[in-house]
Amino acid sequence: MIALIQRVSSASVRVEQELLGAIDSGLLALIGVVQGDDASQADALLRRVLDFRVFADAAGRMNRSLRDVRGGLLLVPQFTLAAETERGNRPGFSRAAAPGVAAALYGHLLAEAQRQHAPVASGRFGASMQVSLVNDGPVTFWLQSGGSVKQA
């Protein structure tokens, strides 16, 4: 699973002018599901998102996690994170999990996030959403279950 996380001072998601979720200071996490992902990878990714230290401590260093600062978490499903972009000018999506599998894993991730942390808000799987955010920093990281981290 993939999470593109952004430290935000505020973020919200809407579908056709309906506000689905909003947070103040915290993390916006765009979530992608790839073939072969399972619940254990969703759980591992959630732990990383909640424990990844991207908030400043008293010395101004990124040393505090979302749990530490008790910030909001906005989860938004985004299948385009699974795109193949290495060649050509059009993305391919053969790595993306099937919609039913991806919806179930996103649902699992959301339920676990709500069980372990508050506040948690969410987008709607499969919907055309409008996401608004104020990126604080800017700070953006690419996380994958399995341990690899890329800075965006």
pLDDT, tens digit (0-9, with 9 covering 90-100), for 71-99: 999 999 999 999 999 999 999 999 999 99
Residue 87: exposed, middle, or buried by beta-carbon count in 10 A (0-12, 13-18, 19+)?
A: exposed
Known catalytic membership, residue 79? yes
Q: How confident is the model at residue 44 (pLDDT cuts 50, 70, 90)?
A: very high
- Inform me whether the pLDDT recorded for 64 exceeds 80: yes
Interval 32-52 mean pLDDT: 97
Catalytic residue chosen out of the listed positions 78, 125, 141, 144: 78
How buried is residue 101: exposed, middle or buried, by Cβ count under 10 Å (0-12/13-18/19+)? middle
Catalytic residue among 79, 125, 141, 144: 79
In 3D space, the residue among 102, 134, 112, 93 whose CA is nearest the CA of residue 31 turns out to be: 102
φ and ψ at residue 65, rounded to 5 degrees: -95, 175
Coil, strand or helix at 136: strand
**Structural domains of the chain, ranges and CATH numbers in brackets:** 2-151 (3.50.80.10)
Active site residue 78: yes
Is 141 an annotated catalytic residue?
no
pLDDT of residue 145: 87
What's the whole-model pTM score? 0.93
d(CA 36, CA 57): 37
